[in-house]
Amino acid sequence: MQISESLEMKPHQKQAAYLSSLWTRLSGQHIALGCSCSMSGMSVTLEDFELDIADYLWAEGERLGQKAVVCFLLLPGPISEQKEVIRGILNRLENEDDISAEVTDWLLPRMTKTLESYAKLHGPAPDALLFGGSSSWGKGYRE
């Protein structure tokens, strides 16, 4: 994206771009380092969370009668069949101009809260280096 394009972005597109960058950074670190978070002998990867987050958004949208949101989420097909579903949602929010405020105003706060919470619990500090050896990686994680 060029600087002139970022100046013309709508607020919802800027928020989607921020979340997309955060999600890409988190997934890149997990994939690149082979990391998985283990609890009680279970291994959970970022991809597992991706489907859970999308399923939550879809179910919550249906439960609360958000027809436009449900249509937006299912436009590419069933959630379970969408590849990289969170990246796809964020990409569409960032790059498509004709998304209604009803959809962006409902989705983005929920996605922001969810992804920032995930980053806080499982991700590096915002200023941590993506790569740089185990010493920089260890210092970059939140305590």
17-66, pLDDT tens digit by residue? 999 998 888 776 654 444 555 555 555 566 678 888 999 999 999 999 99
91-113 mean pLDDT = 95
Give the domain range for residue 76: 11-122
What is the pLDDT, as a whole number, of residue 118? 81
What is the pLDDT, as a whole number, of residue 18? 94
110 is a domain residue: yes
24 is a domain residue: yes
- Per the structure, the count of domains in the chain is 1
The span from the CA of 119 to the CA of 110, in Å, is: 14
- Tell me, yes or no, if the pTM score tops 0.75: no
Which residue has tokens 């960032």? Answer: 94
